[in-house]
A and B are shown apart, each in its own frame.
Chain A
Amino acid sequence: MTQKNRLQSGGRIDRSKPLTFTYNGKQYKGYQGDTLASAMLANGIDVIGRSFKYSRPRGIIAAGAEEPNAIMQLGATEATQVPNVRATQQELFNGLVSGATNGWPSVDTDVMGVLGKVGGNMMPPGFYYKTFMYPQSMWDTYESIIRKAAGLGRSPLENDPDMYDKVNQHCDVLVVGAGPAGLAAALTAARSGARVIIADEQSEFGGSLLSSKETLNGAPASEWVSFVVDELRGYDDVMMLPRSTVNGYHDHNFLTIHERRTDHIADRAPDGQVRQRMHRVRAKWVVLATGAHERPLVFANNDVPGCMVANAVSTYITRYGVVPGNDLVLMTTNDSGYQAALDWHDAGRRVAAVVDTRKNPSGDRVDAARKRGLNLITGSAVIEVQGSKRVSGVSVAPISADGKSVAGSVTKISADTVASSGGWSPVIHLSCHTGSRPVWNEEVVGFLPGPTVQKQLTAGAINGSYSTSKALAEGQQAALDAIAALGMKAAEVVLPQAVEVNEGQPMTLFHIPHLKSTAKAPKQFVDYQNDVTAAGIELACREGYESIEHVKRYTAMGFGTDQGKLGNINGMAVAASALNKTIPETGTTIFRPNYTPVTFGAIAGRDCGELFDPKRYTAMHKWHVENGAKFEDVGQWKRPWYFPKAGESMQDALNRECKATRESVGILDASTLGKIDIQGKDAREFLGRVYTNAWAKLAVGKCRYGLMCGEDGMVFDDGVTSCLGENHFVMTTTSGGAARVYEWLELYHQTEWPEMEVYFNTVTDHWATMTISGPNSRKLLQELTDYDVSKENLGFMDWREMQVAGVPARVFRISFTGELSFEINVQANYGLHVWEKLFEHGAKYNLTPYGTETMHILRAEKGFIIAGQDTDGSVHPYDLGMGWCVSPNKPFSFIGKRGMAREDCVRPNRKQLVGLKTLDPNVVLPEGAQGVLDPNAPIPMPMVGHITSSYWSANLGRSIAMGFVKGGLDKMGEKVFYPLADGRVIEAEICSPIFLDPKGERQNV
């Protein structure tokens, strides 16, 4: 395949290194140094996609990040699919596989194109909204069809094989952009000894100098670029990041840089290499030298492939040695646009016409065009383009001096390329990210960075300073300002001499008039990616949208992956004109992170798969794994859920575990319970303030259950706290609530009661906790300790220090099952040893390990709550029937006391926790089921509360449940009905939640 548009010489490509790439299944050739876009243009590929809404054929229009059309799907394999890559920013490598993003079934024969052609009147702005809004139930159906037709790329179905990194960076000066301004800034800062990071989205530093024929100090500008790059490379404290886009400018000078390290080499990163990095930079000063994007003009059929931004035409010729056509018509409102025609002519191809909207242009480039004998048509504009898949010609006509109307007869000129320039828009995106509003500048005809609270400086084209000499000077000055602010001493930098170009006054013009009204003329595109036309914006204004922010949302202008880099200003100009306002009066346009799309890989870094979230294991985890435990996530903890034996279903295993525990002895790994060590002379008083019950008289060696409420009186955690010494306690919390409770205690101590002498320390991980429960638990424990653990010596709610299995232990006689129960705590390192010793001696008692599920069932048989399951932040202790755990007579008004006395907390008919027995004992109510008193009430039925806990109890041979019922504590024996989604209505009777051993005889033995 020949590269018909490739020049024989020139450009920054290496013709000795040919590369093969695939586009839409066909192979093409390009060269090292090409972008995918330049290689496609070299091969004469005109259509690179279909437009979003009208499905019109689209071609490459720009040469950088602002490209709205050439959005490609990349990837040679399923796992390496990358959607929405701008061909203009993707460097070519051998074997690159690309495809068009839009187009169904293909870009050349497109079903939706028919709809688009029928056209304008069928799909006005708000089309989807107006058409598919009703009936609402159909939206899911509509959406899938619309999405298929629109197409926004697709994500891979397989896991990404590559590695990505996140890196934290700190610097004195971060320079964004390595064009003339950025290089001057970096050089000045680096030479002054500052710690500098300079990042640029392109493969090499130089910015605009890479695609210009300018000279510096009389030599090609690239020589100065090389000199600066070499010097910067010599500094230890300078980090140079090519192929790195500064995508976000966040608070307090925190910026993110997306570095693509291997995307230019191969489809996947070579062995051992990281594909992309996300640099998270905290910069003392930031110098934005982000340049400017050229604005295309808005004219009829300005989206036909072959229509390009003038500067992009220059860039393809100068940097890549590609002339993207044969016959050029240039339309410009300013001098800089002329460069495209000059470069085109100098490349040996025909310039059909240079159409200048100004009557009497003058300036160095205008003179150069005249000198070359180019066909200069002044005071005129290209009002319409002919062609469908490629430009075939243009209509040129004189326009009025204000640019608002056609003022003469139309001439047709044949051409295959139309370059347009409406001036430049400073790249102010990053300066907007932190909330700074840009300011319109009449002289620049564009928005400039607004006032900011960030330590931010700007230099060069972002300030509307477009000449190279100004960019260099501003870059240096920005660095000097930063150096001075940092209190450093500035080093001398002599800037190179640039050749000054005399430029004439540009004309302020965005929207080219047509013979017909905007509504009737062929489509004049403003935002290519989202298919927003000038007519669409005018219609939005007629329909009453006045603020540009509303117009944008209504038309979707600027809402594409390109964020409207090319179109936003033009769109604002069209809206302003329709509303008879100035551009700043219609509002400003701001930008949000990210500047260009960022891969999820770079965002995730290594925080995926196994490393997504830390996992916490108990000291006995290995044993659980070896013994076939199924695990449950409790916060970050991996807790055994149940221990199935071969052939057992989950319910079989639960039944066996539950019965074994109540009949002999079971064992639970309870290490994950939160444990907080509390010491100090005011520790006891402190407990009395944060718990609802009394702590003043808890003796050393005793344990007590406590409820913890918020100031609103609502239960938020519970647990047993034990008195280790007069001024020393250990508090247990729920597994998931440990961190929250700890912070809660600190909050009250530090902010409310700092005078109290009390210290908290989290000791959850220090201890391994195993609970043996059941009638044989005492016998088992006694075999492992010399300490007398009889009822007389270790009573219910006592704790003692003793040796268990030869290691020091704290043994608490507390029970969450209602059985005789011992909670053995040993230092975590001894945990597995003690656990195994228990099993050595426990075999004869059928010692049965159980997990969280059996624990839940056993406690529910006893009506014990689980904070967070049977509470939800809206229930106080009395709602739970736990008034016995509140001591209103404590001298200090404990946390929650005043809250639970609020009017709403003492009203009748609050939802209260009760036990529920289904009429059919074999039916287990689903948790979350809503109860009603009258199952025949009309829908919506008045609901009286939901089921919080529900299980099959093997010990009772029936189902049991706990749940809330309005006024339930006074409704014992009454019926509640649970209508389910599957149509069943389950009848249940309200009862005490204590289903088993209501007198507590089993644990008092």
Chain B
Amino acid sequence: MFHIYCPHCGEYREEEEFHAKGQAHIARPLDPEACSDKEWGEYLFFRKNPRGLHHELWVHAAGCRKFFNVTRDTQTYEIKEVYKIGEQPSFVTEE
């Protein structure tokens, strides 16, 4: 069970209080009508499944109800950092 630091509450809490909401930084296209079916399909359905660093969206569902981002290693399950919506991660995979 993860031990997650909520950047809004400023405390470590048990995973039971949180919901994982999938990959982070997937912005809704500003003009959906301008998207081709393929582009919209990418936005809707395609997600990364990396071995290693992954940026994830979480919500403190049974706490402050705020969303935030987590950089997590999918292999070791280490949480490298948490950061608020709108901020950028400092741990990134070199590609």
Interface residue? A492 (CB, 8 A):
no
B5 vs chain A, min Cβ distance (A): 11
Minimum CB distance partner of A897 in chain B: B32
B76 located at the interface, meaning its Cβ lies under 8 Å from any Cβ of chain A in the complex: yes
Least CB separation from B73: chain A residue: A453
A743 touches B32 (CB 8 A): no
Q: Is the CB of A743 within 8 A of B41?
A: no
Please tell me if A500 contacts chain B, counting CB pairs below 8 Å: no
A743 pairs with B37, CB closer than 8 A: no
In the assembled complex, the Cα of A43 lies from the Cα of B35 at a distance in Å of 81
Q: Which residues in window 889-903 of A have CB below 8 A to B?
A: 893, 897-899, 901-903
Set A453, A746, A899, A903: member contacting B76, Cβ < 8 A: A453
Whether A746 touches B67, Cβ cut-off 8 Å, given contacts A254-B3, A435-B76, A711-B28, is yes
A735-758 CB contacts (< 8 Å) to partner B? 743, 746-747, 750-752, 754
- Across the interface, name the chain A residue whose C-beta is closest to B41: A902
A252 touches B76 (CB 8 A): no
A254 nearest CB neighbor, chain B only: B1
Q: Which residues of B sit under 8 angstroms from A899, Cβ to Cβ?
A: 40, 44
Q: How far is the CB of B23 from chain A (nearest CB, A)?
A: 12
Question: Bound state CA distance, A893 and B79, in angstroms?
Answer: 36
Please tell me if A917 contacts chain B, counting CB pairs below 8 Å: no
Question: What are the residues of chain B within 8 A of A712 when measuring CB–CB?
Answer: 44
Interchain CB contact under 8 A, A252 and B1: yes
CB distance from A593 to the nearest CB of B (A): 12
Contact of A711 among B2, B21, B33, B44 (CB under 8 A): B44
The closest CB in chain A to the CB of B77 belongs to A251
- Known contacts A251-B2, A897-B32: does B85 contact A903 (CB below 8 Å)? no
Given contacts A746-B65, A747-B67, A752-B28, contact A898 B35 (CB under 8 A): yes
Residues of A near B33 (CB, < 8 A) are 893, 897-898, 901
Does any Cβ of B come within 8 Å of A511's Cβ? no
- Tell me if A750 and B67 are in contact (CB < 8 A): yes
Q: How many A-B contacts are there with CB distance less than 8 Å? A: 63
Are A435 and B85 neighbours in the complex by a CB distance under 8 Å?
A: no
A605 to chain B, nearest CB (A): 14
Q: Which of A429-471 contact B (CB under 8 A)?
A: 434-435, 453
Q: Could you tell me if A754 and B40 are in contact, using CB atoms closer than 8 angstroms? A: no
* A interface size (C-beta, 8 A): 25
Q: Which of A867-904 contact B (CB under 8 A)?
A: 893, 897-899, 901-903
Q: Are B1 and A250 in contact (CB under 8 A)?
A: yes
Contact across chains for A251 and B37 when beta carbons are under 8 A apart: no
**Within the complex, what minimum Cβ distance (angstroms) separates A748 from chain B?**
8
Which of B3, B31, B37, B66 meets A893, CB within 8 Å?
B31
- CB B89 to nearest CB in A, in angstroms, measures 15
Chain A residues near B76: list those with CB within 8 A. 435, 453
Would B85 and A751 count as touching, CB distance under 8 A? yes
Min CB distance B40 to A, Å, is: 6
Residues of B within 8 A of A282 (CB): 3, 14
Name the distance in Å between A513's Cβ and chain B's nearest Cβ.
42
Q: Which residues 1-43 in B have Cβ within 8 Å of A in the complex? A: 1-3, 14, 19, 21, 27-28, 31-33, 35, 37, 40-41, 43
Asked whether any CB of chain A lies closer than 8 Å to the CB of B90, the reply is no
Is B92's beta carbon under 8 Å from chain A?
no
**Which residues of the other chain, B, contact A903 by a CB distance below 8 angstroms?**
37
> B24's closest neighbor in chain A, by CB?
A751
Tell me the minimal C-beta distance from A757 to chain B in angstroms.
17
Bound complex: CA of A752 vs CA of B59, how far in Å? 14
User: B59: which of A252, A453, A746 is its contact (CB, 8 Å)?
Assistant: A746
Whether the Cβ atoms of B19 and A743 lie closer than 8 Å is yes
Question: Smallest Cβ distance from A284 to chain B, in angstroms?
Answer: 10
Q: Which of B2, B21, B27, B40 has the most CB of A within 10 A?
A: B40
> A743: which B residues are within 8 A, CB to CB?
19, 59, 61, 65
Complex: A751 Cα to B2 Cα, angstroms: 23
Query: Which residues of B sit under 8 angstroms from A893, Cβ to Cβ?
Result: 31-33
Select A435's contact among B1, B44, B61, B75, beta carbons within 8 Å. Answer: B75
Q: Once bound together, how far apart are the Cα atoms of A711 and B57, in whole Å?
A: 17
Bound-complex Cα distance A435 to B73 (A): 13
Kindly provide the distance from the CB of A758 to the nearest chain B CB, expressed in whole angstroms.
Answer: 14
Q: Which residues of A contact B27 (CB under 8 A)?
A: 752
Q: For residue B35, which residues in chain A have a CB less than 8 angstroms away from its CB? A: 898
Which of A435, A751, A901 is packed against the most chain B CB atoms within 10 Å?
A751
- Encode B34-58 as 1/0 by CB contact (under 8 A) with A: 0101001101100000000000010
CB neighbours of B2 from chain A (8 A): 251-252
The one of A251, A746, A747 in contact with B1, judged by C-beta atoms closer than 8 angstroms, is A251
Contact B32 A898 (CB under 8 A): yes
A750 touches B40 (CB 8 A): no
A254 to B15 CA separation, bound complex (whole angstroms): 11
Nearest CB of chain A from residue B3's CB, rounded to whole Å: 4
Q: Besides the contacts A251-B2, A252-B79, what 11 more A-B pairs have beta carbons closer than 8 Å?
A: A251-B3, A254-B1, A434-B77, A435-B75, A435-B76, A435-B77, A750-B85, A751-B67, A893-B31, A901-B33, A902-B37
The 8 closest A-B pairs by CB, nearest first: A898-B32, A252-B3, A453-B76, A893-B32, A251-B77, A750-B67, A254-B1, A752-B28
- Write the residues of chain A forming the contact surface with B, with a CB cutoff of 8 angstroms: 250-254, 282, 434-435, 453, 711-712, 743, 746-747, 750-752, 754, 893, 897-899, 901-903
Q: List 20 A-B contacts (CB under 8 A).
A: A251-B3, A251-B77, A252-B3, A252-B79, A254-B3, A435-B75, A435-B76, A453-B76, A453-B78, A711-B44, A743-B19, A743-B59, A743-B65, A747-B67, A898-B40, A899-B40, A899-B44, A902-B37, A902-B40, A903-B37
